[in-house]
Amino acid sequence: MGDRRGAFAARREAMGYTQETFAAELNVEFSTVGRWERGEVTPQPFRRTRIAKALGVTLQELGRLLERAPAPARCPATVAVTPLDLAEADDMNRRDLLRLFSVTGALLALGDADRAAAAASGGAVDAAGADELAVFAGHLWRVYGMASSKSHLLPLVRTQLDVLTEALRQSQTPAIRQRLCRLAADLFQLAGEIYFDGDRYTDAAHCYTLAAAAGKEAGAPDLWACALTRHAFIAVYERKFTHAIPLLDLAANLASRGDADLSTRYWVAAVRAEAFAGLGDLDGCQRALDTAAEVRHLEGQVHNGGWLRFDGSRLAEERGTCFVTLGRLDQAEAALAEALNSALTTRRKAGVLTDLAMIGVHRADPDQVINYAEAVLATARQTRSGVVARKLRGLQPHLAPLLADKNIQRLDAEITELASGHTA
């Protein structure tokens, strides 16, 4: 029969939803969204308010979106709703999150009496409601890990943060408020990861700052430490290593007060190693790498797959990156070769290949540079990942001594073209 509700599907895509994430947003089966879009069934009236909110339309406009297109033999009618383009949808999501930042930051700072005065009638969350919010947060992290375009998850995160902010506005029991603060710290870290992937460092830093405040309010040192570590990671990526060290020192202190069965302190050490490498401190870097490697002595579940994911599986990559930065090329190459022999995600492999290309730069070997960098370019074009594109942009300035080679000239031009397209 084909797609009988093309405008409805187009609006869903324009708002940044896949069918799967739209189904999760509305708490329906994935197949149900497909049946709506094929015109096989029509959403029940009780679902329409939530659908309209997710799509950013009025109920009347939603009704027009749900009208079935005429049969193919006839000229299809034009739906009156103007589809929202991706840039506009992204900007709207950003404005909504900035509003939430302001409200949530104020609510976290309110005392009990002030919260009681600000609260509207009703709205208290019970333990079962908090459990449901926690389960959904875990689901969002899993979808984030699988999504090729991380920004598509932002509408769901925004909506969930809206729910949490409204719950924090209400008068809650101390135990429930503590859980809500933990969830806010969790989701603001996820929002920060999405913005970091999209090269929006200021927005990411704002998310991590709120995550740290919520982790502190929740009395959760591991959550607090992870938020600070993510904030420090921005400085590491921007090569502002002296800015990263104080944050990482504080994160290490907090992690030492956290759960000894979790890998928090070892992840902090791994990021500290990169910061020390950037400062040219070989001894400090090696000590931090040795501390990070102690994660292998932990038993059981050492991370939660969400705001904490460090299990030591990336240590070879991290050693390689540090040794490249320090100019220890033989040690770097051995570590990176070890990393390539392990199971890597597409993005992680791109990072390893970029570091191997950088070794080629240091060795003035154009063939090695081209061999590895072209593979990374292909990945960047396929995934449109800000992280992968950022790796290539970090490599590009180092190509200058090799620009007499025509293949390096072509590579330099392709990286410039990629960067232009990524920031458009």
Give residues with Cβ within 8 angstroms of 399, minimum separation 6.
Answer: 361, 369, 408, 411, 412
Residue 289 host element (H or E): helix 282-293
- Residue 401 Cα distances to 252, 327, 328, 416, angstroms: 39, 17, 20, 17
Percent of the chain with pLDDT over 70: 84
Q: What pLDDT band is residue 278 in, cutting at 50, 70 and 90? A: very high
pLDDT of residue 399: 94
Cα 158 to Cα 207: distance, rounded to the nearest angstrom: 12
Q: What pLDDT band is residue 105 in, cutting at 50, 70 and 90? A: low
Task: Give the DSSP per-residue string, 112-165.
Answer: HHHHHHH--SS----HHHHHHHHHHHHHHHHHHHH-SSGGGGHHHHHHHHHHHH
Cα 374 to Cα 381: distance, rounded to the nearest angstrom: 11
DSSP annotation of 74: S
Residue 295 host element (H or E): none
Q: Residue 45 — φ and ψ, nearest 5°?
A: -55, -35
DSSP annotation of 304: -
- Output the pTM of the full model: 0.71
Query: pLDDT (tens digit, 9 = 90+) per residue, 35-84?
Result: 888 887 888 766 788 888 888 888 877 888 887 654 444 433 333 333 33
CATH superfamily of 6-65: lambda repressor-like DNA-binding domains (1.10.260.40)
Cα 261 to Cα 300: distance, rounded to the nearest angstrom: 8
**Cβ density class 63-97: b for 16+ within 10 Å, e for less:** ebbbeebeeeeeeeeebebeebeeeebbebbbebb
Give residues with Cβ within 8 angstroms of 160, minimum separation 6.
Answer: 133, 136, 137, 140, 187
pLDDT of residue 27: 79
Query: pLDDT (tens digit, 9 = 90+) per residue, 147-199?
Result: 877 888 888 888 888 888 888 887 778 899 899 999 999 999 999 999 988 88
3-state secondary structure of 83: coil
Nearest to 217 by CA among 161, 164, 174: 174
Q: Who has greater pLDDT, 355 or 197?
A: 355
Q: What pLDDT band is residue 215 in, cutting at 50, 70 and 90? A: very high
- Residue 357 Cα distances to 253, 352, 421, angstroms: 36, 9, 22
Q: What pLDDT band is residue 2 in, cutting at 50, 70 and 90? A: very low
Domain residue spans of the chain: 6-65, 85-219, 332-424
